[in-house]
Amino acid sequence: MNVKASSSSVSSLTLVHGVLLCLLSAFTAELLFQYFLEQMSLTSTFGRFFSVVITLYVIHRFALTSLRRYKPKLKDLILLHLMLVGTLLLAALIRFVALALSDYMDGWHIGKGLSPVSFHFMIPFATGAFILQSVLGHHFGLIFTISLTTLVSVYSPGHAVFVPLVLATNLVACLSLERLRSRSTYIRAGFYVGLTTLPFALASCLIADQYGTLDVALRLSGALVSGVLCCFIAAGLTPIVEFVGGYVTDIRLIEMATLDHPLL
């Protein structure tokens, strides 16, 4: 009886924590991206916010029920949503810089008519998947992928190509790091992510009504840059996440088992 009560209590706490963190992620998304959208009325803000909260919570609830290895502690949920918020911050920063650069270049008649969207392919959407796959495994990487894809679909309504791009690149990141034995594996995974982004960058040029040579060059090069950014950011942040969160990953065990490791 006590075991069942304890299990039920933990499950209830997990659900409550999930709701609170979903609210936080949805609020952050709305705060960062509402100014990039055409509809900025109070009703549209509430509509986006609650649709995102409900969807993120349903994803979390489904995973708790259906995925055997998805048994998150509070610190795991916090890490998952920190990765979501961090990715949103990176995306918003690059979008802001893209607007500034396109206006500057247009003012100086350099690449006149250059679309700010051409810079968006540099956004390292898969960084969170790199870190979560390395630290917590592919179930958490999958939940992150679906959650981030939901957010992108809501806050990039005029650029539908980014929805499958985010889904594909994050899944590729998880698959590429499934057998993680050294930190150099991030480089190979980053290459695969960049390679996966390339067809979507090309597809965006075919979908666009008007695009110039500079648009094509920026989108294709940005696809490769996104893979590089993912690998370097993840390689730098993963040891910090391991230390702060008290996680012991396969890489950490291998490093500790090395004969010349200072702990031995």
When mean pLDDT is compared across 15-19, 38-42, 46-50, the lowest value belongs to: 38-42
Would you state the structure tokens that stand for residue 158, as one six-digit string? Answer: 């005029």
Give the per-residue pLDDT at 241: 93
75-257: which CATH number, 1.10.287, 1.10.1760, 3.40.50, 1.10.10? Answer: 1.10.1760
Q: Output helix, strand, coil percentages for the chain, rounded to the nearest 5.
A: 80, 0, 20
Averaged pLDDT for residues 220-231: 95
Q: Residues 7, 71: contact at Cβ < 8 Å?
A: no
Higher pLDDT residue, 95 or 178?
Answer: 95
Provide the total of helices (H) and of strands (E) in the chain, helices listed first.
9, 0
Would you state the structure tokens that stand for residue 171, as one six-digit string? Answer: 């899944």
Phi, psi values for residue 212, rounded to 5°: -105, 180
pLDDT in tens, 166-218: 999 999 999 998 877 677 788 999 999 999 999 999 999 888 766 778 889 99
| DSSP 8-state code for residue 35 | G
Q: Where do the domains of the chain lie? A: 75-257
Give the per-residue pLDDT at 250: 66
Name the pTM for this structure. 0.89
Averaged pLDDT for residues 234-247: 90
Gap between the Cα atoms of 133 and 85, Å rounded: 17
CA distances from 190 to 9, 23, 165 (A): 40, 31, 15
Residue type at 264?
A: L
Answer whether residue 242 shows pLDDT above 80: yes
Would you state the structure tokens that stand for residue 183, as one six-digit string? Answer: 């930190």
pLDDT in tens, 117-146: 999 999 999 999 999 999 998 999 999 999
